[in-house]
A and B are shown apart, each in its own frame.
Chain A
Amino acid sequence: MRFRSRARREDGRHAGGAAGPEPAPQPGGPPPVLVIDALGRKCPIPIIMLAERIREVPVGEIVAVLADDVAARTDVPAWCRMKSQDFVWEETLPRGGWGFHIRRCY
């Protein structure tokens, strides 16, 4: 729907609009050591996969979740905030969907 727009985010990160042209993705951090493919899966499954597998990467390293359910754009950063993990950046995938990069903090 046209009226959906991203709220301003208190941390100032990734406040880009959900609609309209977006700038070319800038790599926002180091490469992930684990990529979780949740493409085609509806929320909350991408969040469940992230929560279960983040322990496979060492503390301080990056895990990426690929998802194309638009709810993940809200749910992944919100999960990171609730679970005190570090949401690093969001990339737009060329074939649709997004890659969410998270640093394991503990």
Chain B
Amino acid sequence: MANSDAPGAYFDAASTEPPHPAARAALLGALDAAWADPARLYGPARAARLTLDQARAKVAGVLGARPDEVSFTGSGTQAVHLAMLGALAARRRAGRHLVVSAVEHSSVLHAAARHERDGGEVTTVGVDRHGRVDAAEFAAALRPDTALACLQSANHEVGTVQPVAEAAEACRALKVPLFVDAAQSVGRAQVPEGWSLLAASAHKWGGPPGVGVLVIRKNTRWRSPLPEDERENRRVPGFENVPGAVAAAAALEAYRAEMAADGPRLSALVDRIRAAVPRAVPDVEVVGDPERRLPHLVTFSCLYVSGEALLTELDRLGFAVSSGSSCTADTLRPSHVLEAMGVITHGNVRVSLPRGAASGDVDRFLAVLPDAVARLRRTAGVSLP
């Protein structure tokens, strides 16, 4: 965070953004004022319903959607699952073919794996060395029996922005609904139009945990894959988290307004990291698209170093970063994103700057990184010419 007295900094906004003060204030207010059941008819219930619908309208405004197209879910992952499984269920007569990119979030790929186990067919569209989907290749994967196509707005591990507008155009031509997982970009960058379903997650923009957003555009066929329930326009079962939704909406409006000013500054800091790391550290590769990228995220891989060891060393120095390297995950598999890109999967570091990230903190990070990598290489006994 932006505390310049601290020796280190939090650089893992892509995992979760530190809570926005607007979220905290809205959450506490709504806990006291909007706790009643929004499905009931008496005064406090009507007030809770009104508060919930105001939050819905705010989120819809930021996303360029109609309020009745927006539902609040229990998480971004739940929004992804509902969007995909619901669209696939409603389009069953059109076919059982699903198109996904190889670098989608695991929630998308696990839902695709479920569809395949249930007898559906999945086409996975690969990416180039920068992790970017080729729009023409994505379009070519669409078929008359394609029930749904899925493309993230931007990649969560390397920051590459995907060609959503082009994919949406190809989908429209074939009347295939397009689902966009926009979890990494909502609040930071405008999502192109033309999608049919969208998922997002409030804690990525400084909102509270436990709030996701599912948007289903008008005229998009969708049927809940879960048992029937009246809540959230019959789309999300269970008693609504009104305080969470209110906090999420307040944080989103505040965050988007701040990002309009702070985004370019963060992007310049990322450019500085992109340029400085290969100069300061030998045998390193910065991965992800250098231009068509999220403003706040940069990923690089250091040869001959384990990602876990590097994260531990950077944590010791006070820096919180993430890694797609295998040993940092419980799967003991390398990141499917780095694997699909064909880039080094070990020694991987993802730096993602939260709002207000201080320039001085980035400088300190760049100052300690070369020695940290060199130390680990020496410890591993690497003696390369």
Chain A interfacial positions (CB closer than 8 Å to B) = 1-10, 18, 42-45, 47-48, 51-52, 55, 69-71, 73-75, 77-79, 81-82
**B341 to A7, Cβ gap below 8 A?**
yes
How distant is the Cα of A23 from the Cα of B327 in the complex, in angstroms?
A: 30
**A71 to B345, Cβ gap below 8 A?**
yes
Identify whether the interface residues of A are mostly helix, strand, loop, or mixed: loop
How distant is the Cα of A43 from the Cα of B380 in the complex, in angstroms?
A: 12
21 A–B contacts from the bound complex (CB under 8 Å)? A1-B113, A1-B331, A1-B336, A2-B113, A3-B124, A5-B124, A8-B126, A9-B342, A43-B326, A43-B334, A44-B305, A44-B346, A70-B333, A71-B345, A73-B339, A74-B338, A74-B339, A74-B345, A75-B334, A78-B285, A82-B285
How distant is the Cα of A4 from the Cα of B334 in the complex, in angstroms?
A: 10
How distant is the Cα of A73 from the Cα of B346 in the complex, in angstroms?
A: 12
Determine the interface band of chain B, counting residues with CB < 8 A from chain A.
Answer: 35 or more
**A4 to B336, Cβ gap below 8 A?**
yes
Identify whether the interface residues of B are mostly helix, strand, loop, or mixed: loop
How distant is the Cα of A6 from the Cα of B338 in the complex, in angstroms?
A: 10
- Would you call B382 an interface residue if the criterion is a C-beta within 8 Å of the partner chain's C-beta atoms? yes
Residue picked from B340, B341, B342, most chain A C-beta under 10 Å: B342
How distant is the Cα of A10 from the Cα of B167 in the complex, in angstroms?
A: 22
Residue in chain A with minimal CB distance to B377: A48
Residue picked from A2, A4, A7, A9, most chain B C-beta under 10 Å: A7
Q: How far is the CB of B157 from chain A (nearest CB, A)?
A: 14
Q: Which residues of A contact B140 (CB under 8 A)?
A: none
Q: Which residues of B contact A2 (CB under 8 A)?
A: 113, 116
**B113 to A3, Cβ gap below 8 A?**
yes
How distant is the Cα of A78 from the Cα of B287 in the complex, in angstroms?
A: 12
**B342 to A44, Cβ gap below 8 A?**
no
Q: How far is the CB of B208 from chain A (nearest CB, A)?
A: 30
Chain B interfacial positions (CB closer than 8 Å to A) = 102, 106, 109-110, 112-113, 116, 124, 126-129, 283, 285, 303-306, 326-327, 331, 333-334, 336, 338-347, 380-385
**A75 to B346, Cβ gap below 8 A?**
yes
Residue in chain A with minimal CB distance to B129: A10
Task: Please list the 4 inter-chain residue pairs (A to B) with the smallest Cβ-Cβ separation, ordered nearest first.
Answer: A3-B109, A7-B340, A7-B126, A44-B346
Q: Which residues of B contact A9 (CB under 8 A)?
A: 342
Q: Which residues of A contact B340 (CB under 8 A)?
A: 5-7
How distant is the Cα of A37 from the Cα of B345 in the complex, in angstroms?
A: 20
**A52 to B326, Cβ gap below 8 A?**
no
**B339 to A4, Cβ gap below 8 A?**
yes
Q: Which residues of A contact B127 (CB under 8 A)?
A: 7
Given contacts A1-B109, A74-B339, 20 further A-B contacts (CB under 8 A): A5-B102, A7-B102, A7-B127, A10-B128, A10-B129, A43-B326, A43-B346, A44-B303, A44-B306, A44-B347, A47-B346, A71-B334, A71-B346, A74-B343, A78-B285, A78-B342, A78-B343, A78-B344, A82-B285, A82-B303
Q: Which residues of A contact B102 (CB under 8 A)?
A: 5, 7
Q: How far is the CB of B310 from chain A (nearest CB, A)?
A: 11
Q: Which residues of B contact A43 (CB under 8 A)?
A: 306, 326, 334, 345-346
Q: Which residues of A contact B126 (CB under 8 A)?
A: 5-8
How distant is the Cα of A2 from the Cα of B112 in the complex, in angstroms?
A: 10
**A79 to B303, Cβ gap below 8 A?**
yes
Residue picked from B128, B331, B334, most chain A C-beta under 10 Å: B334
Q: Which residues of B contact A74 (CB under 8 A)?
A: 334, 338-339, 342-345
If the complex has contacts A10-B128, A44-B347, are A70 and B342 also in contact, measured as CB distance less than 8 A? no
Residue in chain B with minimal CB distance to A78: B344
**A70 to B334, Cβ gap below 8 A?**
yes
Residue picked from B109, B304, B381, B384, most chain A C-beta under 10 Å: B304
**A1 to B304, Cβ gap below 8 A?**
no
Q: Which residues of A contact B110 (CB under 8 A)?
A: 3
If the complex has contacts A4-B333, A70-B334, A74-B338, are A44 and B283 also in contact, measured as CB distance less than 8 A? no
Q: How far is the CB of B185 from chain A (nearest CB, A)?
A: 22
Q: Which residues of A contact B109 (CB under 8 A)?
A: 1, 3
